[in-house]
């Protein structure tokens, strides 16, 4: 069974965005209640106040004693007992920084990648109910029941989205050329990111597509559909149902495939004749 934390570790290994621990200490001077930490993009942070007289250590509670800005790497004391930080008090902040992406950002990418990778798929389980009838359970594919062989594919797809975010940021960079002959090719970062993302047959995207095709998963998998038939007598679509196994005793499940044709809709407002049993 896959989990979000495991997928996030795979993503960080794939894009080289590793977590780093940090430890910051700030001495009170009766002046400040806001402190800039040494890292940005914070994930797990704990804060405590240490006093000299009397010797004691108090663990601070988030949103009650302090407010944290994880993106900017800033902690703001809001409890009047510690805001501003008094003489003889020391603020100790310990945690981990995620580098380019925080865990919350990566969780969003994993969720989007999972929805794309498992779109329209379900796992079928055959069982016998309490009355002795054979039943079939169709459970949508989620991260909890994702086969282990597909975990790297979800990580690759999420890593591609991370690289697209970095490429969007790098797309605004321009090359710098000075009169002294100095040339800084800042657009090279964008080109390298796009080369690493690749296309359908190269880069990380090609790597995902190749494995997805071998397993026949993802949005590009081969699917089998049933063509809909129109009745010659009523000019209406004949209903179709989900195909079932021979011993499946459950009720038929109706299918409603999409119908494309609204661009040809008659907007004249003139009613069409209706004859029961023929058309309309």
Same domain, 57 and 130: no
Question: Residue 1 has what pLDDT?
Answer: 67
Rounded to 5°, angle at Cα 206 from 202 and 210: 130
The model scores a pTM over 0.75:
no
* C-alpha Rg value of the chain to the nearest Å: 29
**pLDDT surpasses 90 at 91:** yes
Express each pLDDT in 249-269 by its tens digit: 888 888 888 777 667 777 888
Bin 248: left if φ > 0, else alpha if -120 < ψ < 50, else beta. beta
Q: For the chain, how many structural domains are there in total?
A: 2
Mean pLDDT of the 222-247 span? 86
Same domain, 66 and 150: no
Domain boundaries, position 188: 103-215
Of 215, 242, 261, which marks where a domain is finished?
A: 215
Of 70, 97, 124, which marks where a domain is finished?
A: 97
Return d(Cα 76, Cα 45) in angstroms, integer.
13
Does residue 253 lie in a domain region? no
Question: Residue 106 has what pLDDT?
Answer: 92
**pLDDT surpasses 50 at 237:** yes
Work out the percent of the chain whose per-residue pLDDT is above 70. 96
**pLDDT surpasses 90 at 82:** no
| Percent helix, strand and coil across the chain, each to the nearest 5 | 25, 25, 50
Return d(Cα 202, Cα 247) in angstroms, integer.
45
DSSP letter string over 192-237? Answer: HHHHHH--TTSHHHHHHHHHHHHHT-STT---------B-TTT--B
**pLDDT surpasses 90 at 114:** yes
Does residue 173 lie in a domain region? yes
Handedness of CA 10, 16, 17, 19 (dihedral sign): positive
Of 46, 76, 97, which marks where a domain is finished?
A: 97
Contacts of 136 (CB under 8 A, 6+ apart): 124, 125, 126, 127, 244, 245, 248, 250
Same domain, 139 and 160: yes
Same domain, 112 and 204: yes
Same domain, 179 and 132: yes
Q: What confidence tier does 275 reach under pLDDT thresholds 50, 70, 90?
A: low
Does residue 35 lie in a domain region? yes
Phi, psi of 216 (to 5 degrees): 55, 55
Same domain, 91 and 115: no
Same domain, 51 and 72: yes
Work out the percent of the chain whose per-residue pLDDT is above 90. 44
Mean pLDDT of the 240-251 span? 85
Same domain, 118 and 90: no
**pLDDT surpasses 90 at 174:** no
Same domain, 118 and 189: yes
| Cα distances (Å, whole numbers) of residue 269 to 28, 90, 272, 277 | 78, 78, 9, 23
Calculate the average pLDDT of the chain. Answer: 88
Same domain, 55 and 122: no
DSSP letter at 275? B
Mean pLDDT of the 192-198 span? 94
Question: Residue 131 has what pLDDT?
Answer: 85
Question: Residue 261 has what pLDDT?
Answer: 65
Let me know: does 7 contact 148? Beta carbons within 8 Å: no
**pLDDT surpasses 90 at 165:** yes
Same domain, 117 and 74: no
Question: Residue 280 has what pLDDT?
Answer: 47
Mean pLDDT of the 115-140 span? 88
**pLDDT surpasses 90 at 227:** no
């Amino acid at each position: 069974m896959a989990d979000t934390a495991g997928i996030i570790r795979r993503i960080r290994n794939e894009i080289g965005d590793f977590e780093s621990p940090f430890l910051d200490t700030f001495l009170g001077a009766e002046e400040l209640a806001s402190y800039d930490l040494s890292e940005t993009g914070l994930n797990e942070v704990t804060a405590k106040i240490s006093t000299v007289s009397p010797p004691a250590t108090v663990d601070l509670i988030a949103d009650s004693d302090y407010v944290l800005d994880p993106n900017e790497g800033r902690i703001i004391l809001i409890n009047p007992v510690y805001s501003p930080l008094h003489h003889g008090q020391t603020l100790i902040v310990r945690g981990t920084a995620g580098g380019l992406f925080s865990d919350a950002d990566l969780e969003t990418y994993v969720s989007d990648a999972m929805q794309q990778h498992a779109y329209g798929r379900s796992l079928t389980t055959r069982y016998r109910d309490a009355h002795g009838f054979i039943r079939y359970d169709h459970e949508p594919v989620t991260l909890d029941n994702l086969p282990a062989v597909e975990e790297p594919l979800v990580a690759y797809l999420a890593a591609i989205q991370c690289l697209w975010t970095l490429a969007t940021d790098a797309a605004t960079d321009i090359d710098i050329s000075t009169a002294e002959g100095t040339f800084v090719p800042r657009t090279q970062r964008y080109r390298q990111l796009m080369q690493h993302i690749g296309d359908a047959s190269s880069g990380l995207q090609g790597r995902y597509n190749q494995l997805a095709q071998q397993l026949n998963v993802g949005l590009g998998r081969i699917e089998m559909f049933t063509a809909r038939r129109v009745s010659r007598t009523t000019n209406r679509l004949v209903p179709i149902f989900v195909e079932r196994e021979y011993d499946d005793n459950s009720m038929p499940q109706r299918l409603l495939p999409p119908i494309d044709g609204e661009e040809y809709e008659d907007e004249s407002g003139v009613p069409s004749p209706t004859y029961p049993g023929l058309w309309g």
